[in-house]
Structure 1
Amino acid sequence: MPRVAVVVLGCVPGVVAATVLALFAVGVERDGGGQAVREVAARPAARIAPRPDILPRSAWLGPGAVPARAAPRYDDKVVAVFVHHTDSPNGYDCADSPRIIRSLSAGQTGGRDWDDIGYNFLVDRCGTIYEGRAGGVDRPVTGAHTQGFNHRTAGIAAIGTFTAGAEVPRAMTDAIAAVAAWKLSLGNTDPRTHVRLVSSNSRSRYTAGTPVLLPALAGHNDGYMTTCPGAALTAHLPQIRQTAARLQGRATP
């Protein structure tokens, strides 16, 4: 558990007391072996980032599309996001993104027999953000994107393949940062920190029941044995975290 400095505030004026709390409420996260991982400041107040434009499911659901086959499930909040790539061609016209998402959905609901598309959000090369899994973009919908770590997280998929050497459009990384900043801000999570998650499936990188510290804005491969989201997109994650933090109004460390 984080260690918290205790101060006596009974005689401190309200504004000063708030400042003291912000300065002194500091904890140290530790890994499973008790080793200090990083210092994490207490979060005194939520920093709600602007909600970006998100096209609803109706923008890609069309003739032949498979609707959600079960009621959505929810967690209490979202404390982390996982970034993916869809492992599909890159040279598409953005006007064709709805058809691509329908195809991805059909592969997951048909070929894998899932209840719905697994990703909570999808972003195309032009920076357009689409609602993926049903249940409401502003709610903590349980996705099916990162085996072992679908609870209290959201999945953001970049449409395309971003292995080593691939170009990652700036519009795409900006959109990923925008939706991650907004979604994480609803749970008052700084995208530059680490958060404690518990694996629910031993097929992940960690045995079921194992608590682990993972980046609040993580790549798929942080939680699962995969090369997703690809080396090229993974290289952009540090800057995406910084952009997301700026959108939340957080100072650069």
Structure 2
Amino acid sequence: MRHSDSTGSRSGRQGLSPASPLPRRAFLTALGAAATAAASAAAIGPSPAAAATAAPYTLLSRRDWGADETLRFAADGRELWPPEYHPVQTLTVHHTDDGSTDPDPAARVRAIYREDAVGADDYGDIGYNYLIDENGRVYEGRWSGTDGTPAHDAAGRLVTGAHVKGYNSGNVGIALLGTLTDRPASAAARATLVRLLAELAERHAIDPLGKVAYRNPVSGAGRVAPAIGGHRHWANTDCPGSLYTAMPSLREEVASLMTG
């Protein structure tokens, strides 16, 4: 069987697809917290556990951004890359560095998806678990089934993506659209990145300021890495551009959001 951790290298590029049945909605958190619950919590003041869920953002499902789900299948109906699920161990940030000048971010996500699924990368699907555009909107990445929240199955395990060669299983891949080599992320994208990282860290009991002794459950490969890091922490690459040097402050912002 082909595993993403034997083929999943990338410096940060991606693309299009009939999608999952998740409707478009404003997400308070990746855990699906309801807006009414957040409003009630705000009335009595946020607790540390609720802090990471305080600010809403918009999450677009694969259907919303136009994912053509047929791209995930061969002509004989075989799924090109059957999903695998593992507990989350770490969170990794990327920039897509896709070179696109298309003003429509959904079109850019579709292009990345197409290249990843059936292009030269041959990942069977989009490599990232989440993507964030310049306006701070989140896009559901790799297909994870219909019985859990985006990127997860019903048991809360992460669907394995293809974003860090050799270290994909249990490693959440979050990519900001665009090339950030010589410029910072937009304020909106950065704010959403912090919220998403805080939600995922809270959900999976990850210390945003700590390190993890990552162990690949497929290959057994191990590595000590930041609990929240950039692609460059795992490979010889300039990805995620300026976000690499911003990582210490990002971690501090995530920790602050989690503790209120």
Superposition TM-score, scaled by structure 1 size: 0.69
Amino acid at match of 1:110: V
Aligned residue in 2 for 1:25: none
Q: Does 1:141 align with 2:149?
A: no
Quote the offset at 1:146 in angstroms. Answer: 0.7
What secondary structure is seen at the aligned counterpart in 1 of 2:92?
A: strand
CA RMSD of aligned residues (A): 2.4
1:40-74 Cα offsets, whole Å, 9 max, x none, are xxxxxx94632754211112125x67543334211
Picking from 219, 222, 226, the partner of 2:230 is 219
* Contact 2:131–2:138 (Cα < 8 Å) also in 1: yes
Aligned residue in 1 for 2:250: 240
Quote the offset at 1:182 in angstroms. Answer: 0.8
Q: CA, structure 1 residues 209+119, in 2 after alignment: closer, same or farther (shift >3 Å)?
A: same
How many residues align? The count is: 193
1:69-126 Cα offsets, whole Å, 9 max, x none, are 3342110x21211111111247653xx1110001001111112222210100000111
Amino acid at match of 1:105: Y
Ranges in structure 2 where 5+ consecutive residues have no aligned partner:
1-47, 74-78, 153-157
What secondary structure is seen at the aligned counterpart in 1 of 2:135?
A: coil
Quote the offset at 1:246 in angstroms. Answer: 1.9
Aligned residue in 2 for 1:205: none
Q: Choose 1 or 2 for highest CA Rg.
A: 1
1:203-234 Cα offsets, whole Å, 9 max, x none, are xxxxx64432101111101112211111x121
Q: CA, structure 1 residues 91+238, in 2 after alignment: closer, same or farther (shift >3 Å)?
A: farther
What secondary structure is seen at the aligned counterpart in 1 of 2:259?
A: coil
Aligned residue in 1 for 2:115: 107
Ranges in structure 1 where 5+ consecutive residues have no aligned partner:
1-45, 202-207
Amino acid at match of 2:127: G
* Contact 2:161–2:173 (Cα < 8 Å) also in 1: yes
Whole-Å Cα distance in 2 between the matches of residues 191 and 68 of structure 1? Answer: 33
Q: Which runs of structure 2 are paired with 1:2-13 in the superposition (5 Å)? A: none
Quote the offset at 1:161 in angstroms. Answer: 0.5
